Amino acid sequence: MKIVDSPENKSGFFYGYLIVGVAFVIMFVFWGSFYAFGVFFNPILKEFGWTRAMTAGAFSLCSITQGLLGIAMGGLTDKFGPRVVMTFCGLLLGLGYLLMSQVSVIGELYFFYGVIVGAGMGGSFTPLMSTIARWFTGRRSTMTGIVAAGTGIGALIGPIIVSRLVSTYGWRISYVILGGFVLAVVLLCAQFIRRDPAQKGQVAYGDDAEKKKVRKQDIRELSLREAACTTQFWIVFGMILSLGFCVFAIMVHIVAHAVELGISTTRAANILATIGGASVVGKVLMGNAADRIGSRQTFIIGFILMTAALFMVLPARGEGVLYLFAAVFGFAFGGCVSSESPIVAELFGLTSHGLILGVIALSFLLGGAVGPLLFGYIFDVTGSYRWGFLVCAVISFVGLILTSILKRGQVPI
């Protein structure tokens, strides 16, 4: 198989662009269905009478399962490639949603959603992002941002579609439709993914230029064990944990918060969709900016905006302010997400990128497990979401501090 010097001088299509396209579609389906949990939240509460904390706990368990298996999926991607991994995860995710239509007791909710859906979601980030990092050394943040934008498009469209499905067919039939859609789309798209350019007789986009850049910065290729012995690893771990705490707490509870303020369920779902739409803009624009100003700087900008948005929403009771909050918050977290995989590649190299990114992604989901549960508990105790927003604002500020002290180079602990 002939290896070309660069995708530009190959007389044909650079397969990496197809990888970006199918990865975008998979991200759209995975995260659009995942974020729709906020729409199912109130109908499930109404039917069973469970507490908000108890119901949100299934989402928290899902996040923990997703994070733990995300590490394994990252390692399997390094070894076997993303096609097998994504096929397996697509099967689990679709099955989980189909089973959700049969929930009758709290234990089934936790098993079907917390375990099976969580296991399927284990392939929703790390395998795809690690694959993009291997196909693009030049424009890596831009392409990562485009793929990550699939989560935002999903969050923008998914809740709206699901809200209408639930209004028309009820939440149980809606889960059947969702599960079938996931199975059909993900299993098809997964067959087009390849682990790296060598499998298609190509090299990564901008590979020569990036090699010069890497040599200049003296970045070594680290294993997970070696990376975990650096202060940078644990700083990034804390940054992403802070991000996950805030993002999932807001995504799960913002619809319920808006309804508490007297806003209709459909309009409240539009606020959730606005977060998703703004995150798309943030991922694309800030991903492109990160190729010029660096991933650390985009994280700083993102945390500043996120903290400001959370403090802004504390006294807010009007629908207009909630839409403004959604726009700023979505843009901010979108910018941070687009730089997560690139900053891991910049600090620790590509040899064990999938495994290292899987562990870093676990921190996002650990934060995501605690955030919604604590948010729901605070409401159950106080009868208000105000203190929950304040906690999120403080956690976001902690993320900003950690990003500010992150230094370049692999400094041992």
Model confidence over 346-362: pLDDT tens digits? 888 887 888 898 889 88
Please give the torsion angle defined by the CA atoms of residues 105, 370, 309 and 302, in that order, rounded to the nearest 10 degrees: -120
83 vs 53: which has the higher pLDDT: 83
What's the average model confidence in pLDDT over 127-146? 88
3-class state of residue 205 by DSSP: strand
What is the domain extent for residue 138? 12-405
Instruction: List all residues 6 or more positions away from 63 whose beta carbon is below 8 Å from its beta carbon.
Output: 118, 244, 248, 365, 366, 368, 369, 372
Within a domain: residue 261? yes
Within a domain: residue 3? no
pLDDT for the residue numbered 396: 95
pLDDT for the residue numbered 211: 54
Within a domain: residue 410? no
Structurally, how many domains does the chain consist of? Answer: 1
Q: Is the dihedral of CA 216, 221, 226, 228 positive or negative?
A: positive
pLDDT for the residue numbered 182: 95
Within a domain: residue 7? no
Within a domain: residue 266? yes
User: Torsions phi, psi of 225, nearest 5?
Assistant: -60, -45
pLDDT for the residue numbered 3: 40
What is the domain-level CATH number for residue 124?
A: 1.20.1250.20
Specify whether the CB–CB gap between 162 and 229 falls below 8 A.
no
Q: What is the mean pLDDT of the chain?
A: 85
pLDDT for the residue numbered 117: 94
Give strand ranges (E) for 39-195: none
Between CA 384 and CA 400 the distance in angstroms is 26
What's the average model confidence in pLDDT over 60-69? 84
Flag whether pLDDT at 320 surpasses 60: yes
Between CA 63 and CA 281 the distance in angstroms is 25
Within a domain: residue 348? yes
Within a domain: residue 349? yes
Within a domain: residue 234? yes
